[in-house]
Structure 1
């Protein structure tokens, strides 16, 4: 078992990386700055690229059986109107590169973290959060998650888009509620990053929710 993990230095990505290594999974990561990773492990291989260069991505994907992405559109702070740190189309541009390389390498499995509130689930999120998405820089991430999902659905690969509800930093392990298509069962409002990571790796190991977008929350 060997994966390429994109977004390994982010808050959710760090959880996925730690849990994957603890589970005996070999992990390649592509990061802008190796010093931000602050981790050395015999099963970890680090590639450095400031702009997710296509050739670096290809080298990092070699011999992997899946790509897992926790990338997001980041801001300089959690304040909703904070300026964007990454380009508005960062996710969709990156997944376009990944899809082309994956096809060339015959790599079929791609799992990405998306968001509850994209596409048909927009009507299900609280009104005040829809207002924030429409009027603040939070919306840039949601719009690019949508573009990313459109690209995945148009591909022939075995993709899964995981749409977590509101993220917390609690570490306790809890049962995970999954919601697909008909919004049943109704999702809760919160899930921890550690539980998102646990679910993402479970989806990878069991090859489940193929070509599906699944909402996850804590039961």
Structure 2
């Protein structure tokens, strides 16, 4: 079991909750920065919850203290899963957070960061089925993809030891499966992956040096 302290951003989301559970199960000490602490139902001596805004440098500075790494599972939030549902977060929420986080992490000597992005961001958009590219171009789904791209660019321009994880379509299955790692569309990704498998992968990849500066699409059979 490890005893490393990490900062987790996005712990109250559907995937973030599973990342938190997995991190604690693997023996990590976890700091969470969230707007609404009451949404975190887990109680653990290994968990410290900080209330604040991930776009705020002071809030990030407090939450990242004593951490050795960061996992971000943040996303642009909509009022529902309907593609044209109104946004609940700013259009630049991810990139504004990363702009602050990369500076704060550098200042506090926290080098390792694993970020959850999405298949279809940047150059991988060309690999998507045509119908899904249409939704990205014509609905509020695309807001998140465009800001993930800005977030990724900020990471790539930083001196951080980053890994960008791009899961395919997310489902809620609780069945653990072997994860397929794809780069440059090889092997061709499958269309779905469970949030649980994403959570497990995010935790596992945290301590794998070979994934440094790597952008990887993940899916399952």
Q: Which TM-score tier does this pair reach, normalised by the shorter chain? A: over 0.9
In structure 1, how many angstroms separate the alpha carbons of the residues matched to 2:54 and 2:70? 17
Once the two structures are TM-superposed, the CA of residue 50 in structure 1 deviates from its matched residue by: 4.4
Aligned length: 218
TM-score (norm 2): 0.96
RMSD: 1.0
Where do 1:43-82 residues align within 5 Å? 43-50=46-53, 52-82=55-85
Cα distance in 1 for partners of 2:130, 2:64 equals 40
| 1:29-68, Cα deviation, whole Å (9 max, x unpaired) | 0010111112211000000014642112111111111110
Match of 1:192 in 2: 194
- Which stretches in structure 2 are left out of the alignment for 5+ residues? none
CA distance in 2, matches of 1:191, 1:17: 18
Q: How does 1:100-179 map to 2 (within 5 A)?
A: 100-179=103-182
Q: Which consecutive unaligned segments of at least 5 residues does structure 1 have? A: none
From the superposition, tell whether residues 147 and 131 of structure 1 become closer, same or farther in structure 2 (CA, over 3 Å).
same
Aligned to 2:10: 7
Equivalent position SS for 1:11:
coil
Per-residue deviation, residues 159-181 of structure 1 (Å, max 9, x unmatched): 1110000000001110100012x
Q: Which residue of 2 aligns with 1:96?
A: 99
Q: Whole-Å Cα distance in 1 between the matches of residues 106 and 53 of structure 2?
A: 24
Q: Distance in 2 between matches of 1:74 and 1:120?
A: 23
Q: Are 2:89 and 1:83 aligned? A: no
Distance 1:51 1:17, change over 3 A: closer
Determine helix, strand or coil for the equivalent of 2:149. helix
CA contact (8 A) 1:30 1:52 kept: no
TM-score normalised by structure 1 residue count? 0.97
CA distance in 1, matches of 2:216, 2:148: 14
Say yes or no: does 1:16 pair with 2:36. no
Distance 1:67 1:42 in 2: 19
